């Protein structure tokens, strides 16, 4: 398979600074001449330094439409909410809450339809767990095969995490790939070992969601790693 571009940074602050400049360049290009930019960002702790860097950039955030790559089925102001993380860091952006229905199934359907209207996205930045999950696409969860299918229609779905809160909302891989720029942010030695196994196409990684991402995105994917 075609290999992604791999960027090895000496520390997380350097990684955040350089990745912020990449994303800002993409956003500015789409904001030229009065346009709009559409961005999906990972949740969790890994993007926190990056969000701080982005917040300091002189962009017209009122024309940047932003949503998480995935969300936990908790209240929008819950500390576990990815949307709350983005709202705190980038309050001037036009935030799209994935909770667009009374049930996870209704919300996933409506959110997926809204995101489909954003395509192609300006940029998507994903994270990766030590189990090889991306967004809320977890190994072995119900529906994971269809969520990773290369020729699937771009959509969102209800995911099931192995830890609480278990109910999640997630964009499928077909939607995540429909962007002008696609990145994966990875920190730590254990995740680097897993990533190198995926890049080597080791047989025991082929059922992992991150393997599907690498295989389908190929050289379009930028991987940014720091210790």
> What are the sequence ranges of the domains in the chain?
5-226
Confidence of residue 2 (pLDDT cuts 50, 70, 90): confident
Give the separation between CA 219 and CA 3, rounded to whole angstroms.
Answer: 5
* Per-residue model confidence as pLDDT tens digits over 113-132: 999 999 999 999 999 999 99
Tokens for 167?
A: 């109910």
- What 3-state DSSP class applies to 133? coil
Alpha-carbon distances, residue 168 vs 28, 74, 136, 143, 220 (angstroms): 31, 9, 6, 13, 27
What class has domain 5-226? alpha beta
* Per-residue model confidence as pLDDT tens digits over 76-120: 999 999 999 999 999 999 999 999 999 999 999 999 999 999 999
Using only the alpha carbons of the chain, give its radius of gyration: 16
Element (H, E) at 159: strand 156-160
Phi-psi sector, 117: left (phi>0), alpha (psi -120 to 50), beta: alpha
* Per-residue model confidence as pLDDT tens digits over 25-49: 999 999 998 999 999 999 999 999 9
- Residue matched to tokens 């996933």: 108
pTM value surpassing 0.85: yes
């Amino acid at each position: 398979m075609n290999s992604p571009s791999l960027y090895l940074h000496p520390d997380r602050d350097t990684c955040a600074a350089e990745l912020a400049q990449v994303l800002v360049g993409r956003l500015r290009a789409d904001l030229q001449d009065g346009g709009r930019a559409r961005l999906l960002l990972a949740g969790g702790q890994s993007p926190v330094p990056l969000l701080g860097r982005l917040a300091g950039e002189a962009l017209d955030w009122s024309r940047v439409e932003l949503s998480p790559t995935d969300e936990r089925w908790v209240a929008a102001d819950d500390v576990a909410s990815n949307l709350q993380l983005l709202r705190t860091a980038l309050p001037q952006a036009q935030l799209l809450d994935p909770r667009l229905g009374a049930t996870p199934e209704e919300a996933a359907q409506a959110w997926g339809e809204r995101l489909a209207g954003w395509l192609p996205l300006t940029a998507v930045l994903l994270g990766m767990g030590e189990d090889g999950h991306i967004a809320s696409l977890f190994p072995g969860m119900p529906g994971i095969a269809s969520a990773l299918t290369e020729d699937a229609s771009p959509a969102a779905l209800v995911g099931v995490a192995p830890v609480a809160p278990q109910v999640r909302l997630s964009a499928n891989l077909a939607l995540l790939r429909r962007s002008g720029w696609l990145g994966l942010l990875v920190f730590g030695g254990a995740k680097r070992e897993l990533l190198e196994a995926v890049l080597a196409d080791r047989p025991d990684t082929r059922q992992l969601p991150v393997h599907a991402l690498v295989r389908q995105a190929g050289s379009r994917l930028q991987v940014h790693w720091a210790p």
